[in-house]
Amino acid sequence: MLDNDPMISEEKIGGNLPNDPDAKDRADGSVCEVNSLRDEVLRDIDSGEINELAVVAEGEERTTWFVWILVVCSTISGLLFGYDTGVISGALVTIGSDLGPQNLSNGQKELITSATTLGALLGGLVAGILSDWTGRKLVLGIADVIFIGGAVAQAVSHNVWSMIGGRFLIGIGVGLAACIAPLYIQELSPTRLRGRMVVLNVVMITLGQVIAYGIGAGFFHVHGGWRWMVGLGSVPAGFQIGFLFFLPESPRILLQKGDTLRAHRVMSKIYAFAKPEELDLKVKLLQLAVKRSIEITQTTTLLQRLKSVVLDPVNRRGLIIACGMQAFQQLCGFNTLMYYSATLFKEIGFDQPTAVGLIISGTNFIFTLVALKWIDKIGRRKIMIWSAPGMVIGLTLASISFYYMTKKTGGNLVDGTQYSTAWSAIVLLSMILFVASYATGLGNVPWQQGELFSLAVRGIGTSLATATNWGGNLLIGSTYLSLMAKITPAGAFGFYASLCFLGWIFVLGCFPETAGLSLEEVKMVFRNGFGIKESQRLRKRKREIRGKEKEKGKLKMLDVVATGVEGRGRADNEKF
């Protein structure tokens, strides 16, 4: 198959044009090395995957402005996600009697909060599957329309149930955006920076939360200010709808639809410094991978592909890791802190609870920037191993603080009670430690979920993982206040600390390193077990190949310099 294909000839794999009479002299390696490389590509194609080690494009380590602009525009979805989940914290403490009751009960607060999560669960469940059919970009547009509708519905609501309806609608948009934005970014990013590009979406989520807390603090003393808080969420959605007209579709989706020309055009912008033959080879290899995906899609039903995600060992391992990491992200209790931080800080005696909540969201934003810098350099696994213990320590310290702080009130927080400012300060510090550790690792790594699945089941896999995220969110968000009342704040935070510890054990035993591997290479990791050692082997081999490529480049440069020196020497001799 490969020998007769003019786009994947031996000369092109070696980086030379077929008709160049000096091709053999300028080849990067021997014919045996080329044949070995070609055999490796064939072997990986036969196994259903393409090994990107065979294609090292010139300038691949450089990122074009096209990629950065594309990612920034698509991360507006993350901004909306963060804003609409964070704004409810400030709204709950300022609604007052605007929705009918003199004060919202704990049950009503949980319903308003969990309505968003239920909507996100349903939206996330269909998002990936829908995007396989319509394309990634259209689903982002649908999410924006839903964001606008939900924001307006909340702003004009005058009773609890209409507010719940608006929050549910917003939740559907959040679920769609949370699933598709990282997936879309992954499929448009160069391998070397894929993790960082997805973290940029998480940076926008945390920025959205910071903006939400800032606006909440600004409108805290304004009558009906909460309506402005929720209504302003429609503004970024309107901007993104405009930007979507100028953004390309994922090249993998374009190839899936048979539009090779547009896919080639998009890839040429992503790898703008690659030679034409290198770019052709990249597109061809990607096309072969997509071809296998199309064959699977055309010969199987949706139900059969759902079964394959669970029954096929390779897919199942990816699903276990993706769902496990998303469950860890939610069961640690972080989002309850985002939803109820203003309520919590008000109860322990802070005069400006929304402003204090801004410290928490600001910490989340700043340490997400740390992850942005290091996630591709250090790797996903190492970041998780190092950051998870900080979460356990932070939550344990909070549990101890609540135990001693609430002794005089029977272990429970009673609104209006004057608690020790020292213990309140320790609670705040413990929350900062917890959030800093979360933002560095767990807040980002699970959203790399798309790289754990092959293209044929990527939409289904990411939908199931995102649904797991929101299922855990729904469970924690709808039980947080009740849990605090039943087992006391000290018990609740101790419970979350124990769940974090179990999550850390899961990471140590099951989570492999995927940084530096292409989307088509990651699946090879799961062929025999969870692939912790196999991923290390593949990454080491890839570094060796890249090192050889750089060394060859240096030798070529030295040869050019030597030739130039020799030429000047001859010219000087001719003068005399």
Q: What confidence score (pLDDT) does residue 55 get?
A: 54
Cβ(522)–Cβ(452) below 8 Å: yes
Q: In terms of DSSP H, where are the helices of 406-454?
A: 421-440
Q: What is the DSSP string of 74-110?
A: HTHHHHHHHHHHHHHHHHHTT-TTTTSSSS--HHHHH
Q: What confidence score (pLDDT) does residue 503 get?
A: 95
Write the DSSP symbol of residue 166: H
Range of lowest pLDDT (35-44, 196-205, 393-402) = 35-44
The mean per-residue pLDDT over the stretch 315-323 comes to: 93
Helix 160-188 to helix 65-74 angle (10° resolution) is 160
Total Cβ atoms within 10 A of residue 208:
27
Q: What confidence score (pLDDT) does residue 400 get?
A: 94
Whether the per-residue pLDDT at 58 is higher than 60: the answer is: no
The mean per-residue pLDDT over the stretch 363-380 comes to: 86
For the chain, domain boundaries: 57-247, 314-530
Domain 57-247 has CATH 1.25.60.10: no
The mean per-residue pLDDT over the stretch 63-74 comes to: 81
The mean per-residue pLDDT over the stretch 290-308 comes to: 79
What distance lies between CA 40 and its chain's CA centroid? 31
Whether the per-residue pLDDT at 42 is higher than 80: the answer is: no
Q: What is the pLDDT of residues 85-115, one digit of tens each?
A: 778 877 887 887 888 777 788 788 878 888 8
Q: Which residues contact 311 (CB under 8 A, 6 or more apart)?
A: none
The mean per-residue pLDDT over the stretch 201-211 comes to: 85
The mean per-residue pLDDT over the stretch 356-372 comes to: 85
Please report which confidence band the pLDDT of residue 56 belongs to, taking 50, 70 and 90 as the band edges. Answer: low
Cβ(40)–Cβ(51) below 8 Å: yes
Q: What is the pLDDT of residues 543-559, one digit of tens each?
A: 777 676 666 655 444 44
Start-to-end CA span in the chain (Å):
59
Whether the per-residue pLDDT at 511 is higher than 90: the answer is: yes
What predicted TM-score, i.e. pTM, was given to this entire model?
Answer: 0.70
- Rounded Cα gap, residues 412 and 124, in angstroms: 36
Q: What is the pLDDT of residues 72-86, one digit of tens each?
A: 888 888 888 888 877
Identify the CATH number of the domain defined by range 314-530: 1.20.1250.20
Q: What confidence score (pLDDT) does residue 59 get?
A: 57
Instruction: Return the higher-pLDDT residue of 97 and 338.
Output: 97
Please report which confidence band the pLDDT of residue 61 belongs to, taking 50, 70 and 90 as the band edges. Answer: low
Judge whether 57-247 and 314-530 match in fold: yes
- Rounded Cα gap, residues 548 and 558, in angstroms: 15
Q: What is the pLDDT of residues 262-283, one digit of tens each?
A: 988 888 888 887 788 778 887 8
Q: What confidence score (pLDDT) does residue 8 get?
A: 34
Q: What confidence score (pLDDT) does residue 148 get?
A: 93
Q: What angle do CA 96, 99, 102 make, to 5 degrees?
A: 45
Residue 278 is encoded by which pair of tokens? 């290198």
Q: What confidence score (pLDDT) does residue 141 get?
A: 92
Mean pLDDT for all residues in the chain:
79
Q: What is the pLDDT of residues 216-231, one digit of tens each?
A: 878 877 888 888 988 9
